[in-house]
Amino acid sequence: MVLISNRIFGLILFFTFIFTNISFANNGYDLWLQYKKVENKQLLKEYTENIQAIQFFGNSETIKTALKELNIGLSGLFDNQNLFENDSPKNHLLVFGSESQLDTTYLNLIKTELSKVKKDGFVIKQIQLNGNSQIVISAKTDVGVLYGVFRFLRELQINNSLKDINIVDSPKIDVRILNHWDNLDRTVERGYAGFSLWNWHTLPDYIDQRYIDYARANASIGINGTVLTNVNANALILTPQYLEKVKALADVFRPYGIKVYLTARFSAPIEIGGLKTADPLDADVIKWWKDKTAEIYNTIPDFGGFLVKANSEGQPGPQNYGRNHVDGANMMAEALEPFGGIVMWRAFVYSEHDATDRAKQAYSEFVPYDGKFKDNVIVQVKNGAIDFQPREPFHPMFGAMPKTPLMMEFQITQEYLGFSTHLVYLPKLYEEVFETDTYREGKGSTVAKVVDGSLHNKKITGVAGVTNIGNDINWTGHHFLQANWYGFGRLAWNPHLKSEDIADEWIRQTFTNDENFIIPIKKMMIQSRETVVNYMNPYGLHHIFDTGHHYGPGPWVGSLPRPEWNPTYYHKADGFGLGFNRTKTGSNATAQYAPEIAKMYNDISTTPEKDLLWFHHVSWNHKLKNGYTLWDGMALKYQEGVNEVEDMISLWNSMEQYVDSQRFKEVKMMLNIQLKEAKWWRDACLLYFQQFSKQDLPNGVEKSSNSLKEFQSMTFPFAPGR
Ligand code: GCV
């Protein structure tokens, strides 16, 4: 037991305060960990009544980290030097420690709550001891205690009352992980917020403060893993030269409960191992992976495992040797098994040699392997069957592999949602996916229940997010896109949370607790996902982005050698109409869903209009539910999207008094870019599709001042993220 009462902490706090609040001003660097002074009188009173000193149990690095964070947080939120400087014993304590360390007096007072805690969950409870109210934070593990401390700080930041506080919360997912598509030269594939955070050149000797702040931010939302490198992998990361650098990062992240994972290039035994083959059934290859894995664990004892993209978009894999995904994944799993590591094997596969609908290929390739993977393999599946579009129906693999753990892969970076210049609140998209019913075990078999393992009693569960983090000072390029990192973490912790509640807590922590700001801004965030769908891909249109960089519209692109890389493959515009027939009269992709869903999608009258053109080739004159024809309705949707961005701008402009000047100005400039690009999408798409519909724009839709030719001739050789 240690009572924090010395001046050293006061000094640390003082410098931390200077560092975080002055030198960074408000450039957004502090994310949602702003820890601004509490002004709420009731909370100030409750705080003083409950907390006069801190007492903690345990001395692990994680417990010390929890203490450090508490110090940073409380000194920002309150004028509470007395917590750290006064030696006299106090009656009102903030007590924290794990079950195995906590004093039994406290344990007895929280035992009911603690018995409900699972894995790295925690308890925060106000208790009465000898007539004094105190607050106890405890957990089964030290990382759970750290999560409890972060949650406690969140409660304070969002001005929740401390009176009778009694929170028990546990993660519903085991592996809550970020995927960095970061290359060793620091470029980031589909990265729009600067270069990679990982400075491989100065590692392992130089530990950038950002590595620590990255870990703090992740731990604050329960993220417990990070894949440092791109799935389009470079085998060099597995060499001793780089493993030493990886170790340095792992050492920084460990106290925060974050494990490091790496992408494993399937051909690494050839490229860095000097073997002639990477055949997963070859004895030398098997040995190579076993030795390599042992070497990694020797360097990083808590290494998490491998993420593998195999036989996809040119990446090598077991099929190069006539083997299959099971052979490849199990070979690596066997190497990791003795150390407790896992393989995350991606199901993002489609082949130029397969003429069937791309949307069907992953399901066809993987579902027959259900039950064949080793226990430490988890198959990582994108939320939809194509590729992170503004809206996709859920991937039919969810629910279709009852014997295989499947983890969700979301994109946080906005490859197809406006890069880092469009304000789009993605937790709304994640929530839509999680809430969808797969009907695999009858009504109520939601994707969330597949992913949290409860539908089929899975042994490992996971949610991955392809990050939007780079070395931009505000981390994500756009201040509001921090909310997507935040919201991803919150939903990875509990996929049943509501995106609106997440937006609420994010705004309060990041900007202000003033309802005059929160209510309208929250509404704007929630609406923003539909807005981007409206001005990019209404009614189920998809993959009509310009080629390669995916910046802006390119519905006219139709001459790329791989058919499924062409937007024309997806929209199939012709004189009759628009859309991809995936019903039983078309590619029959609908048959990959449970019968209830297949039936709904096979019939145009029961297909939700948001997915119309995903599943049907629809006449330009088809009557929509609102009475408009498809052509008129679609044109009006594009216009609606533009109008909604205009509304976002007016709203933001009226919010100046609630936001610091730097973030206000930066968001304002970004919104203006978003408006310009929304108009570009509207005009380019409508001019292009008009060639087929041969109809005028309906009233209310603005005419483009550019010609289709002008849009088609635009090139962006240096668009980011390639
Ligand atoms: C990392 C899409 C992206 C690629 C990405 C790929 C994947 O095709 O455009 O940049 O590659 O998905 O998820 O593997």
Domain stops at, among 462, 486, 509 = 509
Instruction: Provide the residue range defining the domain that includes 28.
Output: 2-169
CB 547 less than 6 A from any atom of ligand 1? no
Judge whether 17 lies within some domain: yes
In the sheet with 53-56, reading across from the earlier edge strand, the strands are: 2-3, 53-56, 93-98, 132-139, 122-129, 166-169
Q: Is residue 157 located within the same domain as residue 291?
A: no
For residue 607, pLDDT beyond 80: yes
Same domain? For 335 and 202 the reply is yes
What share of the chain in percent tops pLDDT 90?
92
| pLDDT of 89 | 65
Q: What pLDDT, on a 0 to 100 scale, did the predictor assign at position 16?
A: 44
Confidence of residue 238 (pLDDT cuts 50, 70, 90): very high
Q: Does residue 130 sit in the same domain as residue 217? A: no
Q: What is the mean predicted confidence (pLDDT) over 579-596? A: 98
Instruction: Let me know: does 203 contact 241? Beta carbons within 8 Å.
Output: no
Pocket test for ligand 1, best of 229, 307, 311, 313 (most atoms within 8 A of CB): 313
- Whether residue 313 lies in the annotated active site: yes
Cα of 222 vs centre of ligand 1, distance in Å, is 26
Residue 666 lies in a domain: no
Q: What confidence score (pLDDT) does residue 7 get?
A: 36
Task: Let me know if residue 371 belongs to a domain.
Answer: yes
Higher pLDDT, 709 or 353: 709
Q: Is the pLDDT of residue 154 over 90?
A: yes
In this structure, the answer to whether residues 137 and 197 fall within a common structural domain is no
Higher-scoring residue by pLDDT: 84, 610: 610
Decide if pLDDT at 1 tops 50.
no
Say yes or no to pLDDT of 19 above 90: no
Is the torsion defined by CA of 261, 262, 264, 269 positive or negative? negative
Any domain includes 301: yes
**What is the band of 211 on the pLDDT scale with cuts at 50, 70, 90?**
very high
Atom of ligand 1 nearest to the CA of 189: 10
Q: Which of 116, 140, 169 is the last residue of a domain?
A: 169
Mean pLDDT across the stretch 431-438?
Answer: 98
Confidence grade of residue 353 (pLDDT, cut at 50, 70, 90): confident
Pick the residue whose CA is nearest to atom 12 on ligand 1: 387
pLDDT of 21 > 90? The answer is: no
Ligand 1 atom with the shortest distance to the CA of 181: 1
Q: Is residue 32 part of a domain?
A: yes
pLDDT at 566 > cutoff 70: yes
Q: What is the 3-state secondary structure (H, E, C) of 53-72?
A: EEEECCCCHHHHHHHHHHHH
Q: Looking at residues 566-586, what average pLDDT do you find?
A: 98
Domain count, the chain: 2
| Ligand 1 pocket, residue 466 CB under 6 Å | no
Same domain, 278 and 377: yes
pLDDT at 14 over 50: no
Q: Take atom 7 of ligand 1 and give the residue whose Cα is closest.
A: 348
Please compute the mean of the pLDDT values over residues 465-473 and round it to a whole number: 98
Q: Is 302 in the pocket of ligand 1 (CB under 6 A)?
A: no
Q: What is the CATH number of the domain that holds 51?
A: 3.30.379.10
Provide the Cα torsion 564, 557, 671, 35; round to 10°. 30
Contact predicate 225/467, CB 8 Å: no
At residue 25, the pLDDT reads 67
The alpha carbons of the chain give a radius of gyration, in whole angstroms, of 26
pLDDT tops 50 at residue 43: yes
387 in active site: yes
Q: Which of 77-91, 368-382, 396-410, 556-570 has the lowest mean pLDDT?
A: 77-91
Tokens of 419: 């890069």
In this prediction, residue 351 carries a pLDDT of 87
The backbone torsions φ and ψ at residue 312, rounded to the nearest 5 degrees and listed phi first, read -145, 130
CB-ligand 1 contact for 549 (6 Å cutoff):
no
* Average pLDDT along the chain: 95
Whether the CB of 190 sits within 6 Å of ligand 1:
yes
Residue 288 included in any domain: yes
Q: Ligand 1: does its nearest atom lie under 6 Å from the Cβ of 348?
A: yes
Measured from the CA of 231, which atom of ligand 1 is nearest?
Answer: 1
pLDDT at 533: 98
Mean pLDDT for 443-466 is 98
Q: Quick one: 103 and 202 in the same domain? A: no
Banded pLDDT at 22 (limits 50, 70, 90): very low
199 within some domain: yes
Which residue of the set 251, 313, 500, 640 is catalytic? 313
What pLDDT does 49 receive? 86
Mean pLDDT value across residues 297-307:
98
**Same structural domain for residues 325 and 407?**
yes
Q: What is the reported pLDDT for 191?
A: 98
**DSSP characters for 456-522?**
TT-S--EEEEE----SSTTSSSSGGGHHHHHHHHHHHH-TTS-HHHHHHHHHHHHT---HHHHHHHH
**Residue scoring higher pLDDT (203 or 50):** 203
Distance, CA of 544 to CA of 686 (rounded, Å): 12
Is the same domain home to 55 and 191?
no
Residue 422: give its domain's CATH number.
Answer: 3.20.20.80
Pocket flag, ligand 1, residue 542 (CB < 6 Å): no
| pLDDT, average across residues 427-450 | 98
Q: Which of 169, 201, 226 is the last residue of a domain?
A: 169
Residues 56 and 93 in one domain: yes
Residue 8 — very low, low, confident or very high, per pLDDT cuts 50/70/90? very low
Q: Residue 87 — pLDDT band, cuts 50, 70, 90?
A: low
Query: What type of residue is 297?
Result: Y
Same domain, 200 and 124: no
9 band by pLDDT with thresholds 50, 70 and 90: very low
Q: Reply yes or no on whether the pLDDT at 4 is more than 70.
A: no
Domain membership flag for residue 102: yes
Q: Which atom of ligand 1 is nearest to the CA of 309?
A: 14
| Predicted confidence (pLDDT) per residue in 612-631, tens digit | 999 999 999 999 999 999 99
pTM of the model: 0.96
Identify the residue with better confidence: 34 or 14. Answer: 34
Q: Where is pLDDT greater, at 11 or 65? A: 65
Same domain, yes or no, for 193 and 91?
no
CA of 410 to the centre of ligand 1 (A): 12
- Which of 437, 430, 495 has its CA nearest to residue 172? 495
Q: Cα of 608 to ligand 1 centre, how many Å?
A: 28
Judged against a pLDDT cut of 60, whether residue 524 lies above it is answered with yes
Lowest mean pLDDT among 345-354, 653-662, 668-677: 345-354
DSSP class of 417:
T
Confidence of residue 527 (pLDDT cuts 50, 70, 90): very high
How confident is the model at residue 84, as a pLDDT?
57
| Whether residues 239 and 278 fall in one domain | yes
